Amino acid sequence: MNRDSLQIFILIFSLLLSVVSLITGFNYQLNICGEYAYTCSDSLSQIAIYTVVFLPIFIFSAITYRMDLVKKSWRIFSFFWASLTLTVIYSIVSEAGGSFGSLHGGYENMVVIGLFVVYPVISALIILYYYLRLGKKKDSGDHK
């Protein structure tokens, strides 16, 4: 798979999972479950927990779509971050007996929230750094 098709795959995959996350996250408002609200909504909230990771990936993937030098560095960081976040969420949900947010003290929730706050900040810094670096290379006539 070449770089362009990989970038398109990441963009489409993260878009689809972002839509799934938003739909499942708003299951009460959309009345998706109907009369099976308790069990259905519990299942949908589990799906939302795992797919919400892909919403910021979609946003930053769309931002870096045309930035060749930037997207390679950002993609490496994003693969690491998504793997780490999904592993942490899985371990927290497994330990909580299948429900996110029910652990005592809320420390686990703060770790996940911290991961969600750190990702956009680091992504923005990576994009800005490589974008500025690319701009300086263009100004100096060096296009490598």
- Each residue of 109-129: pLDDT tens digit? 777 788 888 999 999 999 898
pTM for the complete prediction? 0.70
Side-chain-side CA neighbours of residue 43 (13 Å): 7
Region 101-115 average pLDDT: 66
Q: pLDDT averaged over the chain?
A: 77
Residue 82 clears pLDDT 80, i.e. is over it: yes
- Number of domains present in the structure of the chain: 1
The pLDDT of residue 121: 92
The pLDDT of residue 122: 92
For the chain, give the number of residues.
144
The pLDDT of residue 103: 46
SS (H, E, C) the chain: CCHHHHHHHHHHHHHHHHHHHHHHHCHHHHCCCHHHHHHHHHHHHHHHHHHCCHHHHHHHHHHCCCCHHHHHHHHHHHHHHHHHHHHHHHHHHHHCCCCCCCCCCCHHHHHHHHHHHHHHHHHHHHHHHHHHHHHHHHHHCCCC
Residue 105 clears pLDDT 80, i.e. is over it: no
In which domain, by residue range, is 35 found?
A: 3-140
Residue 144 clears pLDDT 80, i.e. is over it: no
- Each residue of 42-67: pLDDT tens digit? 777 777 777 888 888 888 888 888 77
Query: Between residues 20 and 121, which one has the greater pLDDT?
Result: 121
